[in-house]
Each structure stands twice: as C-alpha cells, then as structure tokens.
Chain A
Amino acid sequence: MAPSKTGVELGKSHERPTLSASIAPALTALLDHIAEDLAREYVRLMEVAARKDGADVPTATSRDRRKA
C-alpha cells in the first residue's frame, strides 16, 4: 500500500495526561535540557555542512545575523 502523504493537523490527543507528564518535573527539565543541547548542536552541524557545500541553511540565528 502506498504511504499516505496527507498533512494532518494535530487534534486533542496531546491535551490528555501523558507518560512524560507523569515523569518527575526535575527529570523532565533535564530531558528538555538535553533536547535543547542536541538541537543546538544539530543546527551547528547543518550550518557547517551547508557552508562546506556553499549553500545556506536558513536558521533563525543566521536570519538574525543577516538582519544585523
């Protein structure tokens, strides 16, 4: 069967309590901190790769730099 490519707006399912909501708040904060660090590094790696290829990754940071 061919995979669907339909874009779907997310519904109410995220409003109910989830497993992550049951994790201790301090642990959740730690997990979020890890995710933020990973995201920063991911963006940096993509920018490095793009510069190597002479391309541009339109990150929010690079957009801000261009405005400045």
Chain B
Amino acid sequence: MTYATGDWTLTEAARLLEEPQHRLIYMCEKGVVEPDVQDAEGRGSSRRFSNRNLLEFAVALRLRDLELPATLIGAVVHVIRAFERAVGREIRGFKLPDSLRAKEAPDLRIVISDGQRLYFTLGANAEPPKVYGGINLDQFREARGVGRSSPRLKLVRPEPPDGVFHDDDFGGPERSRHARVEISVSRIARDLPLDT
C-alpha cells in the first residue's frame, strides 16, 4: 500500500497553486495527474489530492506553459513517480514532495534541449549535475502507440559537436546546441506553500 500525505479538494489545490481550477481539471482529464486520495467517480464524487499531487500539478503546469503535449508531461510525471518509488526502496521514509524540500536534497531538474530532447539532471553541492535521458520529443508528439519498436527509441548521450566539452560552453550538462529550457523539480517542491 502506498502512503501519501495531504488531502486537498480541487478548490484548495487551485488556491494553493494560484492556478485556475480548469487547468488542474485538464491535467486530471488527460490522466497526467491521478488524484491520490480520491478520484471523481460519477455525480457527487469529487477529486481529492495529496501533497505529491500538488507537486505533480506544479511541475505539469510549468511544462504546459511551454505548450508541451500532455503525453510528454504525463511521461515526466511518470518518471517522478517511478523515481519516488525507486528511492523509497533504498531510503526509508523518502516521500515527495517533502524529501525534495529538505535543504540538503539534491536538485532534480527537467531539461528540454533544443526543443528536441527531454533530459533529467541531478546534482548536489560541488558536484556537476549528471544527465539522464535524451528522449526525442517526437515520441510524445506523435499518436499514442507510435514507437512500439521504433529504432529511434533510445537514449542519447550528450556529445559535443567538436568532440570536446568546454566549461564555458552554452548548453548545460546535456550540451544543448542553441536552446535549453530547465525546470527545477526540487525548487518547485521547496516553493510549495506547505507547512511541513
């Protein structure tokens, strides 16, 4: 049994996140955010959300601001949930968003590189962040089911154009060429207006 903290109505969640309710409803209807506490099931039943859901909403809405497709946003939320489960197997009591709100918590970020690829980075203190992923965004823009055995479906390791990484290069650890968008999941978690 998974255990989640928080119990928020849609109205409360929208107020906490300072977002209109219809944006949260959109994320639920698209299946990007699954209400942890209670889903809407017919008349008279309303959705109720956990603190983890609040983090998922906040991250999803920042990605939606970039007009990224719901499928990609759902994939990011999927990774965040799978990440929580995997860390939870190793560190007892690890829980989102609380554990990412801790002062010493590593910084988990999402990077959209050159409008083409999805990466995640993770870093802490003096260590340079490590890069994970590199999925072609076309995988998410195309219809569902595409890529069941696509040869393009593979991770891409960052490679500099001239074969050499330069510290002063634009492009971050994933080595974007011309453009990068970076979203800090850890900072979003820390900025959630929760008392814990």
Contacts and interface: CB of A to CB of B under 8 A. Distances in A.
Given A13-B36, A49-B125, A61-B90, A22 B4 contact: no
A45 B70 contact: no
A54 interface: no
A58 to B, nearest CB: 6
Q: Which of B82, B130, B133: most chain A Cβ within 10 A? A: B82
Q: Which of A17, A22, A26, A45: most chain B Cβ within 10 A? A: A45
B147 A19 contact: no
A30 B87 contact: no
How extensive is the interface on chain B, given as a class? 35 or more
B148 A39 contact: no
Interface of A: 1-14, 16-20, 22-28, 30-43, 45-46, 48-49, 57-61
B43 interface: no
A34 B132 contact: yes
A27 B153 contact: yes
Nearest to B2: A10
Contacts of A26: 147-150, 153
Contacts of B15: 1
Interface stretch (B26-34, B164-172, B176-184): B26-34
A8 B35 CA distance: 12
